[in-house]
A and B are shown apart, each in its own frame.
Chain A
Amino acid sequence: MYLDAGTGSLIVSVVVAGAAGLGVFLRMGWRRVVGAFSPRRRAEQRVGDQEAGDQRPADDPAVSLNTGSPPEPRD
């Protein structure tokens, strides 16, 4: 394939497929590829985690992949 299909678009196209698509989306380990919460919630969660003495490493995918990112480059 010579185009960048856009990773976010690929995931949405699966969700668009309806209930079966949603099932696949939930099974695929979506937390690792999609930022689950808004930036504020994530910040609050990090503060909460620190207060609770959570020693989550900085390179934990749940943190490092959820920090928001610039939009996909255009095709």
Chain B
Amino acid sequence: MGSAIPEPASFRDPDSAVFYADGLVLRGLSEQGAADWRQLAGTAFFPRLVDEGRIVRTALYEAEAPLAPRGEPWSLVLEHERIPVISYPFEWPFAMLRQAAICHLEVLLAALEEGITTKDGTAYNVQFVGSRPVFIDLGSFEAASGPWPGYRQFCQTFLFPLLVQAHLRIAYQGLLRGSLDGLQPGDVRGMFGGLRRFKRGVFRHVYLHSVAERRVTASSESVKAELGRAGFGTELAKATVAKTLKLVRRLEVKRSGTAWSDYRDTCSYTDDDAAAKRAFVEAALAAGPSRCVLDLGANDGAYSLLAAGHAEQVVAVDGDEAVIDGLYRRLRQDGITNVLPLVMDLADPSPGLGWRNKERAPFAERLRPDLVLSLALVHHLAITANVPLPEIVDWLHGFGARLVVEYVDRPDPMTRRLLSNKPAGLFDDYRIDHFEQLLAARFHIAERQLVPSGTRTLYLCEP
């Protein structure tokens, strides 16, 4: 076996650690971890949820495996199915975070039925394969005893973000990105002042939680012993999870229009433009089979959906949470499983976070697309975000993939609108000849097409 590369996010649990070797995703287990795995493998729910795609497919790895970080051999090594593109909770819109929470709680509820719990409850236990959430932390399963130890993490990384967006319309993405531990009960309590504390789910999960956190000084072990004496059993742990699941299912976000939510109705395209653009993109997609298409500035996902018919995986990225949320709901409704929608400001993409800034990888390190779509995006980065054109072209080139890029010229109504908000003369180098020169210096321009209205040009570029 080649050398093992430890997964930077998998170091907290001494009984289980993920690493990569020979292109495989492996998990080493200690003696205790191996005992927990054998118990899990003997249950009825585990193979059922794996077959349903709700727990990551896992098998025993028989070949020789590398040593554990401390030098002793692992008791057992498992092999996991690879997740095509890793994403994080702070990149998920409301409906996705809610669906991930439901997935986690349903897996836990099925496990509790057979006397097994999860030792944590973080949103990072769930990944998305396209639009399907899947529970990935096999090391988290252990024999159940006492209350669910993951409840606090579940609140901080799933429930509190959902509550603040559902009840207060506060976008949680920045808050989750700001702390991998999620939102603290005391901070969330501060957001729900006055009568707001009586909104659905807030009094128990937030208000009491914050009070208990300050007032309870006994140790966890003594509280668990007291609870055991008072008659706490698995039935009660199940009731906690079932009630929380019911609450999560009922949470919904109220939306008013956002800048982009009615973009299709207000954008400056004519029908002929839209048809020409669609045909150009479709030809680029059909030119070769694609493993992964990255749609930058995907908006409502019209081109991501087009790409979904040609590629194994499509990643649709946009900074507007509302449109990405709408796209996710549409994917679920239409049963489209190979599109992963993500919320991200492309001028401020997800950085490396956590321990040594390596626990959670920067966005660009998590995917290797073979085709990038950058449609109606460059003028927003250049004019709204003030990113110099050479920087933008370098960035697009950095993906190392074929590129379909749209240049929206100065006379276009959208560009005029963006320019009208900036001082005159600031963007004099935003010109098509300059853009084309920059493209040609980094790519081979294979095709070029002016759309019928004459203000937008499409390019197909080879790296």
Contact = CB atoms under 8 A, between A and B. Distances in A.
Interface of A: 1-18, 20-21, 23-25, 27-29, 32-35, 65-66, 68-69, 71-72, 74-75
Contacts of A9: 151-152, 155, 209, 212-213
Contacts of B229: 28
Contacts of A23: 231
B150 A5 contact: yes
The secondary-structure label for the interface of chain B is helix
Interface stretch (B239-247, B351-359, B391-399, B418-426): B239-247
Given A4-B220, A18-B239, A24-B231, A13 B214 contact: no
Given A16-B240, A69-B215, A72-B213, 6 more contacts: A3-B119, A8-B209, A20-B239, A24-B236, A28-B229, A35-B214
Contacts of B119: 1-3
A66 B424 CA distance: 65
Contacts of B219: 7
10 contacts: A7-B212, A7-B216, A10-B146, A12-B208, A13-B240, A20-B235, A28-B227, A33-B218, A33-B222, A69-B214
A7 B214 contact: no
Interface stretch (B11-19, B338-346, B360-368, B405-413): B11-19
Contacts of A3: 12, 119-120, 149-150, 153
A24 B146 CA distance: 12
B69 to A, nearest CB: 15
Contacts of A1: 119, 142, 149
A24 B448 CA distance: 71
A17 B227 contact: no
The secondary-structure label for the interface of chain A is loop
A8 B12 contact: no
Contacts of A27: 230-231
B152 A2 contact: no
B235 to A, nearest CB: 8
Nearest to A69: B217
A52 to B, nearest CB: 25
B148 interface: yes
A8 B185 CA distance: 11
A2 B180 CA distance: 17
Nearest to B221: A7
Contacts of A69: 214-217
Contact of B215 (A4, A16, A35): A35
A34 B239 contact: no
A16 to B, nearest CB: 5
Contacts of B152: 5-6, 9, 75
B226 A33 contact: yes
Given A7-B218, A12-B151, A24-B232, A17 B240 contact: yes
B310 to A, nearest CB: 43
Contacts of A25: 230
**Closest 5 A-B residue pairs measured CB to CB?**
A8-B212, A9-B152, A35-B215, A28-B230, A17-B239
B348 to A, nearest CB: 26
B186 A71 contact: yes
B215 A17 contact: no
Contacts of A11: 212, 216, 223
B224 interface: yes
Contacts of A28: 223, 226-227, 229-230, 232
Nearest to A67: B217
B242 to A, nearest CB: 8
B216 A8 contact: yes
B205 interface: yes
Which of A16, A23, A27, A65 has the most C-beta atoms of chain B within 10 angstroms of its own C-beta?
Answer: A16
B297 interface: no
B224 A75 contact: no
Contacts of B223: 7, 10-11, 28, 33
Interface in B178-204: 181, 184, 186, 204
A39 B220 CA distance: 23
B133 interface: no
A11 B153 CA distance: 14
Which of B212, B220, B222 has the most C-beta atoms of chain A within 10 angstroms of its own C-beta?
Answer: B212
B213 A71 contact: yes
Given A3-B119, A14-B147, A29-B226, A68 B214 contact: yes
A8 B215 CA distance: 8
B203 to A, nearest CB: 10
